[in-house]
């Protein structure tokens, strides 16, 4: 009889636990837009396909390795000893330049996780990093040379928000201190059927 009670108690406990959600394929559209005032300067769309409820993440890496040149100038002074009698030692200044090329990745990285939560909503976790070469308009048409000094701008974002099927949310917005451009990050969730 004691065995039957224990088995019945186990059955009741498992009946009270909610069943885990089944994998649900979803599409997450991410758009990075830059605005100069009210005018849209650029828009970069990305689409990720995620199986919600599987604890798997989806990663997207899109970019290019840009050569970044560095130069070092070394100067020194050489003395010429043992001159003939009556002549003083002379010194010569020498200079040499050495160049070295490193590479820096410029582009966009996105990581996304999705899990189902109550009431038909999904918990969406986004991590976005976007980097680009900074050029002002007058330099934009000039080709990049290895030795050219370059400035890079970077946008990094990470957050988790609840979303419904078909919903579009503004996830982040910020203004670039140098250019005054506003960067906006939006995402749309769609259940795939």
The reported pTM is 0.69
Domain count, the chain: 1
User: Does 98 fall in a domain?
Assistant: no
Per-residue pLDDT of the chain (193 residues; tens, 9 = 90+): 444 444 444 445 445 555 578 999 999 999 999 999 899 999 999 999 999 999 889 999 999 988 876 666 666 666 566 666 666 666 666 666 667 788 888 999 999 999 999 889 999 999 999 998 877 654 444 444 434 567 888 899 999 999 999 999 999 999 988 888 999 999 999 999 8
Asked if residues 43 and 32 have their Cβ atoms less than 8 Å apart, the reply is yes
**Which residues lie below 8 Å from residue 154, measured CB to CB, with a gap of 6+?**
129, 130, 131
Question: How many CB atoms are closer than 10 A to CB 122?
Answer: 23
User: Does 45 fall in a domain?
Assistant: yes
Asked if residues 166 and 3 have their Cβ atoms less than 8 Å apart, the reply is no
User: Does 3 fall in a domain?
Assistant: no
Question: How many CB atoms are closer than 10 A to CB 52?
Answer: 23
User: Does 178 fall in a domain?
Assistant: yes
User: Does 78 fall in a domain?
Assistant: no
User: Does 186 fall in a domain?
Assistant: yes
- For residue 39, the enclosing domain spans 19-68+103-191
| Predicted pLDDT at 142 | 43
Q: Are strands 58-80 and 90-116 parallel, antiparallel or unpaired?
A: antiparallel
User: Does 5 fall in a domain?
Assistant: no
User: Does 77 fall in a domain?
Assistant: no
């Amino acid at each position: 009889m004691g065995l039957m009670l224990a088995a019945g108690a186990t059955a009741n406990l498992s009946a009270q636990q909610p069943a885990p959600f089944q994998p649900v394929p979803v599409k997450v559209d991410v758009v990075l837009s830059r605005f100069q005032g009210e005018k849209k300067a650029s828009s970069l769309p990305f689409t990720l396909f995620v199986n919600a409820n599987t604890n798997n993440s989806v990663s997207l890496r899109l970019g290019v390795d840009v050569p970044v040149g560095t130069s070092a100038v070394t100067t020194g002074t050489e003395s010429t000893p043992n001159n003939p009698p009556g002549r003083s030692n002379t010194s010569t200044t020498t200079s040499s330049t050495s160049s070295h090329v490193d590479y820096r990745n410029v582009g966009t990285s996105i990581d996304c996780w999705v899990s189902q939560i109550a009431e038909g909503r999904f918990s969406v976790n986004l991590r976005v990093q976007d980097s680009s070469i900074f050029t002002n308009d007058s330099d934009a048409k000039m080709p990049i040379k290895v030795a050219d000094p370059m400035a890079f701008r970077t946008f990094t974002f990470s957050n988790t928000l609840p979303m419904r099927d078909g919903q579009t949310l503004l996830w982040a917005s910020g203004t670039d201190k140098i250019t005054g451009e506003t960067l906006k990050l939006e995402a749309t969730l769609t259940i795939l059927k």
